[in-house]
Amino acid sequence: MLFTEVRGLPVLVPDGDGPVGTVTSLTVDVAAGAVSRLRLRRGRFRGETALPWEAVLSVGPGAVRVGSAEAAESAPVHHELLGHRVLTENGTARGTVLDVAFAPETGRVLAVFTTRGEVPPDRLLGLGDHALVVRTAWAVR
Amino acid sequence: MNELMAARSLTTRPVVTLGGDAVAHVKDTVCDAGASRITGFTLTGRGLLSGPLKEGLPWSSVYALGHDAVMIRDRRGLVSAAVLTERRQSLRAEVIGARVLTEAGDEVGTVLDVVVEGGTGGRVVGFRVAASRRFVPGQSRHGRRVYVPRGVSATLAGRDLVLAGEAAAHVADDLPGLTALVAGVPGHPKGSPP
């Protein structure tokens, strides 16, 4: 599944009668190579809430079902991957992130699609406020 | 061979950790006494209006000098800028504006900029020089800007930079030309039309 497919989906709780919010983005833990938080907006004038990925029961079709809509206790700093700058470890720009493919069951990142090709998850080094840093020797498939 | 860069172009390049966080921007390059390699960078803060940082980046903490960023392992690589520039001067103060002379005493010109090699070496490979009229004859009113390879050794004595041996026998018109010269590829002979 792709990040752009998940964005905007309604978030449902098992006993609720309506969606508790809509998905705004997914936070990726680059070291673990997996999605760590689901970020949702509960209303137009309310801020974003980060749910732990463990609370997610299923993703799609048409909605994200979560066990509980309680916010994670300590949310790491969120760096939005989509549109983020990509740098190699040698300090050369490699375009920007277009989309991220992930396994909806486990949250594992399968591939990052950039304007300059696909990056396998084992090439990801770090994600910070400036850029997504990737290992140099990644092949464009 | 790694990409060659003019030291002036390094100013404002972001300093980025492998974790992807930008910690500072390059303010100026510091090199050693013989202008043979980079010893570090002085830094400015990230904001538009932030001034110079008290911390500097020693070359030993640099992971790679790249086209779009100076990569470092993490923020702990920064040291006090006073230590960095204690005995060395920044390029701007020391090398830029120096007279370039050959061993025979012929004046080549004055240094406009220093050309360094990217990657992990931090070598100074040459200089951008405003050539003196006698060294590069030409009809240009402003004199010729040429790239002179540093050669195997160079010494900085006061405001004179003396190149050893045949270093100034060939000069290049641009950075690709200097790359070819330094890599030992023939071409771009001295005095070729720009």
Same domain? For B86 and B99 the reply is no
Q: Is residue A78's pLDDT more than 80?
A: yes
Same domain? For B59 and B99 the reply is no
**Pairwise pLDDT comparison (B73 vs A15), residue with the higher score:** B73
Cis status, amide bond into A61, omega within 30 of 0: yes
Determine the average pLDDT of the residues in B117-130. Answer: 90
In a domain, residue B192? The reply is no
Same domain? For B70 and B115 the reply is no
**How many Å lie between the alpha carbon of B135 and the closest alpha carbon of chain A?**
37
CATH number of the domain where residue B50 is located: 2.30.30.240
In a domain, residue B30? The reply is yes
**How many Å lie between the alpha carbon of A66 and the closest alpha carbon of chain B?**
30
Tell me which of A62-66, A135-139, B17-21, B169-173 is least confident.
Answer: A135-139
Q: What is the pLDDT of residue B17?
A: 96
Number of domains chain B contains = 2
Q: What is the pLDDT of residue B15?
A: 96
In a domain, residue B164? The reply is yes
Band of residue A65 on the pLDDT scale cut at 50, 70, 90: very high
Selecting from B14, B18, B21 the residue whose C-beta is nearest the C-beta of A89 gives B18
**Pairwise pLDDT comparison (B172 vs B21), residue with the higher score:** B21
Look up residue B81 and give its two tokens. 């800028």
Same domain? For B69 and B119 the reply is no
Q: Which domains does chain A have, with CATH numbers?
A: 3-66 (2.30.30.240), 85-134 (2.30.30.240)
**Pairwise pLDDT comparison (B156 vs A99), residue with the higher score:** A99
Half-sphere exposure of B123 (CA within 13 A, CB side): 16
Band of residue B89 on the pLDDT scale cut at 50, 70, 90: low
Q: Is residue A72's pLDDT more than 80?
A: no
pLDDT > 90 fraction of chain A, expressed in percent and rounded: 73
pLDDT > 70 fraction of chain B, expressed in percent and rounded: 87
Same domain? For B31 and B52 the reply is yes
| Strand locations in chain B (E) | 4-6, 14-17, 22-31, 38-44, 52-58, 62-65, 70-72, 79-80, 99-102, 107-117, 124-131, 145-149, 154-157, 160-163
Interface list for B 84-123 with A (CB within 8 A): 118-119
Same domain? For B84 and B124 the reply is no
Q: What is the pLDDT of residue B189?
A: 47
In a domain, residue B118? The reply is yes
In a domain, residue B188? The reply is no
B20 has a chain A CB within 8 A of its CB: yes
Q: What is the pLDDT of residue B143?
A: 65
Q: Which of B71, B72, B117, B120 to mutate to test the interface with A (most CBs of A within 10 A)?
A: B71
**Rounded (5°) CA angle A96-A1-A114:** 15
Selecting from A89, A125, A130 the residue whose C-beta is nearest the C-beta of B22 gives A130
* A128, closest residue in chain B (CA to CA): B20
Enclosing domain of residue B13: 7-90
Residues in A closer than 8 angstroms to B16, CB to CB, are 87, 91, 128, 130-131, 133
Contact (CB, 8 A) for A114 and A95: yes
Selecting from A79, A129, A133 the residue whose C-beta is nearest the C-beta of B18 gives A133
Q: Cα separation of B47 and B159, whole Å?
A: 35
B9 has a chain A CB within 8 A of its CB: no
Q: Which of B63, B90, B117 is the last residue of a domain?
A: B90
Same domain? For B102 and B165 the reply is yes
Distances (CA, A) of A65 to A74, A107, A130, B103, B141: 21, 14, 32, 78, 74
Same domain? For B133 and B83 the reply is no
In a domain, residue B63? The reply is yes
Same domain? For B76 and B106 the reply is no
pLDDT in tens, B47-68: 878 888 889 999 999 999 999 9
CB contact under 8 A, A131 and B69: yes
Residues in B closer than 8 angstroms to A93, CB to CB, are 67-69
Q: Cα separation of A89 and A134, whole Å?
A: 6
B184 has a chain A CB within 8 A of its CB: no
**How many Å lie between the alpha carbon of B11 and the closest alpha carbon of chain A?**
15
Band of residue B87 on the pLDDT scale cut at 50, 70, 90: low
Same domain? For B78 and B133 the reply is no
Determine the average pLDDT of the residues in B121-137. Answer: 84
Q: Which of A90, A116, A124 to mutate to test the interface with B (most CBs of B within 10 A)?
A: A90
* A93, closest residue in chain B (CA to CA): B68
Q: Is residue B187's pLDDT more than 60?
A: no
- In whole numbers, what is the pLDDT of chain B averaged over residues? 83
The four Cα atoms B45, B117, B152, B180 give a dihedral, to 10 degrees, of -150
CB contact under 8 A, B70 and A91: yes
Q: Which of B90, B122, B139 is the last residue of a domain?
A: B90
Q: Is residue B177's pLDDT more than 80?
A: yes
Q: Which of B44, B65, B90 is the last residue of a domain?
A: B90
Selecting from A91, A125, A128 the residue whose C-beta is nearest the C-beta of B68 gives A91
Distances (CA, A) of B81 to A81, A109, B11, B74, B142: 34, 40, 16, 17, 37
Q: Is residue B185's pLDDT more than 60?
A: no
Q: Cα separation of A71 and A11, whole Å?
A: 13
